[in-house]
Structure formats: structure tokens, C-alpha cells
Amino acid sequence: MLARSHAYDAPVLTGGWRGRALVLVLCVLVAGCAQRPDAAAAVTLVFKHAKILGPSDPVPALLREFERRHPGVRVQAESLSWNSDDQHQFFVINLEGRGAAFDVMMLDVVWVAEFARAGWLLDLSPWVTRAELEPHFPSTIAPATWNGRVWAMPWLMNVGILYYRADLLGKYGLTPPRTWEALVDQVVRVRAAERNPRLDGVLWQGRQYEGLTVNALEAIWANGGRMFGADGTVFPEEERAAGGLAFLRALIVSGVSPSWVTAADEELSRRHFGDGRAIFLRNWPYAMDLFQAAGSPVRGRVGMAPLPGRVGGAVSAASSGGAHLGVNRRTRHPELAVALVRFLAEAEAQKTMTVGGALNPTRMALYHDRDVVRVHPDFPLVHDLMLRARPRPVTPAYLMLSTTLQPEFSAALVGVKSPRQAIEHARLRLSYLLEGLR
């Protein structure tokens, strides 16, 4: 296991140290030479990352390998809580305070543009070319780049997936639905035939948090709507956006989704489906490992399919998510920090992460790698799902947008506002906020 991390354990800075570090950095930059770590004054890189959930943590072994390749360098991994809000808060406070207590950080994809705009990230463009990003899924490249520069390397990926009860669908000769309309029909059919009042239809995440933004966006995309037009207008196809929300509301009203999805997050919905109490579930790839774990009531009975589209809308619309690696602009060892980021994003390291843990890499080729597929037989299918994924809007104002939208989406789901009203209000607030930033 990882050595116990000390969240605020920054290396002590003295004037002499800072001066020496500056000289070293300048030397490295001016000479343009490769890193030349002074073995006597060993360099310590600090890597701040979210707690790696899963059966084992492959990160320490990777870092030891990096140290072996770079003599004189020590990498100290410090883990933050798994809660994304907490991580964001930690980074914001330390980066805004111009801290250099960490060099490399694991970033949620939606923060990259924000941190880049704030000047907190080192521009990786001098080291990382566009070509180096090519082997990663397209929807991970978009959030890594902003304003024509590369700010982060894709590392781990997520995609919205429709999980279905293969046994139940098979029993009634059904195949995974391609549209939400077909999904509703299947729910009605299966439930009528099963005569089980405790069997729910489709579960998703409607609690007022980031997950709601993702689910609502997917509904809006499926209905052929967008959050941003090319000219920066908010919800350019207002009717389509309202139609997406109206559909989600209808799922609840008709009982196809239980009313408590308005309080559900990933884990709440995953557990309920995992107990065998629902036919469909929208969730991320991590859930599959848990469904297939020994002792799981739905083991061997769950299938994965692309999120459905809508009749007269999009074919399928799933949001991507995941984590990127970035470098603190105030790092005292930019060359080494960039080297660490590139090392961790390499195929070899991503493979270790994937085989050793329950994580999804961003490199497309790994999903057909023989060793990986042996451990994760579903990966070729997941590959196709990830290829279709769409990133959430890439903008420095993303969190502002998302937290402004959440109450409006939530209001539409619980019926406090009509979908059209909610979209209208969201639009007004967003236009006002964005106006202030120009």
C-alpha cells in the first residue's frame, strides 16, 4: 500500500533552497538539455492524486519504476480524498496561493480548461505534440487542449453506459434498446410479465450535483439539443433541450424510473441495480466489476450497451469523464514533472494501471491488448462505447455553468418548474454570468 500521505506536508522552503531551485530550473531551461538531476541534492517530485479506488493501487509500483529510470529523483505520492469537490477545493486554495508544494496533479477532465485559464497549469505544448495525443480517445483530447495549447495528458477515462439485465431481456426475446422510447416499451413489457412490483425500470442519477448535469446533458444531446452553440449562445435549440428534460420528468411520472432517482448518485443507483431490483441502469464502467464480483446477486446476468438515442433525435449520446494529468506552473522541476506526466500516460504505465486495478485507460489500443482483455473481457465493447462518447463543454467556466444548471435541472425533474421554464431560467442566469466574464 501507499505510504500514508500527509495532505499538507509541503517541503520546507528557505531562501537558499528557492534560489538554488531557480538556478537549476533556469539552467535546465536555458541549456534546453534533458533533466540532469543532481544525485547529491536529490530532487523530490510530489504527485497529488485522488485516492485510487479498487482492489489494488498500482500507482506506487509505477512511481518506483520512474525513479529507477531517473536516478536521483524521488516521487512522493500524496492522495486526496475521493470526493471531487474536496479535491477541487484543495487545488484551488493551493494554486491560487501560488503554492509549489506539489508538481504533478491528477485533474478531473472538466477542470483542465479552468486551471489553464487561471494560469495554474504549465503549458505542455513545448513537450507534448498533437501527434502524441492521437492514440487517446478523441473525447479525452478535447478537454486536454484549450486555446490551441496542450495543458494536460489524458490518463483515465469514463463513459456513460447503459447496463441491462441480460437474463430478463433474453427471457422475453428482447435486445438492448437503441432508443429511449424502445427502452420504455421494454420496461413496461418486462414488468407486466414479471408481475414483480418491486422491480424498477431504469435508474440514473438525478441528485442535485455534477452527476445530474451529466445525465441531463445526455438527455438533451439524445434529443438533438446542445448546451452551447458555435456562437456561444446557451441552449441554442431551446425546444430540444426542454424536450430532453421533459423526457426525464416523464420517466419519473410514469413510474418507469422510481421517484427517488431525484436523490440518487452513482452508488445509490448502482447498489439498487446490483441487488437485482431494476432492469436498466445508466452508470460508468466501474460498476461492471462490482456486478461481476463473487457473491453479487446479478453476477453473469448484466450486459452493457450504448446509451440509447431518441426517436427523431441523436443515435446515442453518452458523456465522457475521467482524469487527466497536469503540471503545476510553479513547479521547480518542470522538465522532470513533464517527464513524469508523459511516463504515466504512456501505454506501458496505462496498461499497468488497467491490469492491476479497475481503471479504464485513455489509449484506444489498450482495449484490444491481449493481456488487458484477459483481465477485462468486456474491454473491446467498452472501446466502442468510449469512441462514441462526447465531452462535456470545454470551457474555463464549466463549474460555474454546471452549478448554475443543477438547481434548474433538479427543479424540472421534481416538477417544481416546467422543463421549458427551467431551461429559460438556466439560460437567463448563464447568459448573465458569461456576460460578466467577457
Partner 1 sequence: MTVRRLDDARTARVLLAPALLALAVLAAWPGLWVLWLSLQRRIPVFGIERFVGPAHYAFLAEDPRFWNAVQVTLIFTFVSVSLEFLLGLGVALGLQGQRRGRRLAVALLLLPWALPSVVTGRMFEWLYHPSAGLLNYVLGGEAINWLGEPTLALPALIAADVWRTMPFVALLCYARVLTIPPEIYEAARVDGAGAVATVRDVTLPLLRRVLLIALLFRTLDALRAFDLMFVLTGGGPANTTETLTVYAYRSLFQTLQLGFGAAIGVAVFALVMVVAWGYLKAIVHEEGATA
- Pattern of binders to partner 1 over 371-400, x per CB under 8 A? -------------------------xx-xx
209 binds partner 1 (CB under 8 A): yes
Q: Of the two residues 96 and 384, which places its CB atom closer to partner 1 in the complex?
A: 96
Residues facing residue 136 across a β-bridge: 363
Q: Report in angstroms how near the CB of residue 114 gets to partner 1 at its nearest.
A: 5
Asked if 138 contacts 362 with a C-beta cutoff of 8 angstroms, the reply is no
What's the min distance (Å) between Cβ of 296 and partner 1?
15
For residue 406, which of 386, 426, 420 has the smallest C-alpha distance? 426
Q: Is residue 207 within the footprint of partner 1 (CB under 8 A)?
A: yes
Residue 268 found at the interface with partner 1 (CB under 8 A): yes
End-to-end CA distance of the chain: 47
Which C-beta is closer to partner 1: that of 74 or that of 271? 271
Contact 124, 150 (CB under 8 A): yes
> Which span sits near partner 1 by CB under 8 A: 102-110, 200-208, 240-248, 359-367?
200-208
Of these, 9, 38, 85, 371, which contacts partner 1 (CB under 8 A)? 85
Count CB neighbours of 34 within 10 A. 9
Amino acid at 152: A
Q: Cα angle at 428 between 422 and 429, to 5 degrees?
A: 90
Q: Which is nearer to partner 1, 134 or 275 (CB)?
A: 275
Any contact of residue 253 with partner 1 (CB under 8 A)? Answer: no
With CB under 8 A as the contact rule, which of the stretches 260-268, 305-313, 333-341, 359-367 interacts with partner 1?
Answer: 260-268
Report in angstroms how near the CB of residue 10 gets to partner 1 at its nearest: 20
H-helix or E-strand containing 291? Answer: helix 286-291
Q: Give the total of residues touching partner 1 (CB under 8 A).
A: 43
The closest alpha carbon to 126, from 322, 341, 323, 332, belongs to 341
User: Of the two residues 111 and 155, which places its CB atom closer to partner 1 in the complex?
Assistant: 111
Q: Which of 74, 271, 329, 420 binds partner 1 (CB under 8 A)?
A: 271
Q: Is 437 in the site for partner 1 (CB under 8 A)?
A: yes
Q: Could you give the CA distance from residue 171 to residue 73 in angstroms, rounded to a whole number?
A: 59
Does the footprint of partner 1 cover residue 250 (CB under 8 A)? Answer: no
CB 91, min distance to partner 1, A: 11
Compute the least distance from the CB of residue 432 to partner 1, in Å.
9
Among 58, 225, 258, 356, binds partner 1 (CB under 8 A): 258
Backbone angles phi, psi at 363, to 5 degrees: -85, 125
Asked whether position 270 contacts partner 1 by CB under 8 A, the answer is no
- Strand, helix or coil for residue 322: strand
CB contact set of 163 (below 8 Å; sequence gap of 6+) = 273, 280, 281, 282, 283, 287, 288, 291, 302, 303, 304, 305
The reply to whether 89 sits near partner 1 by the rule CB under 8 A is yes
Among 9, 11, 19, 96, binds partner 1 (CB under 8 A): 96
- Give the bridge partners for 59, in sequence order: none
Tell whether the torsion through CA atoms of 52, 58, 63 and 64 is positive or negative. positive
Distances in whole angstroms, Cα of residue 13 to Cα of each of 20, 47, 72, 95, 98: 11, 18, 19, 16, 13
Per-residue exposure over 209-226, b if at least 16 CB sit within 10 Å of its own CB, e if not: bbbbbbbbbbbbbbbbbb
Binding mask 397-436 for partner 1 (x = CB under 8 A): x-xx--xx-xx--xx-xx-xx------------------x
Minimum CB distance to partner 1 smaller for 127 or for 260: 260
Residues found near partner 1 in the complex (CB under 8 A): 85, 88-89, 92, 96, 114-115, 117-119, 206-209, 212, 258-264, 268, 271-272, 275, 277, 396-397, 399-400, 403-404, 406-407, 410-411, 413-414, 416-417, 436-437
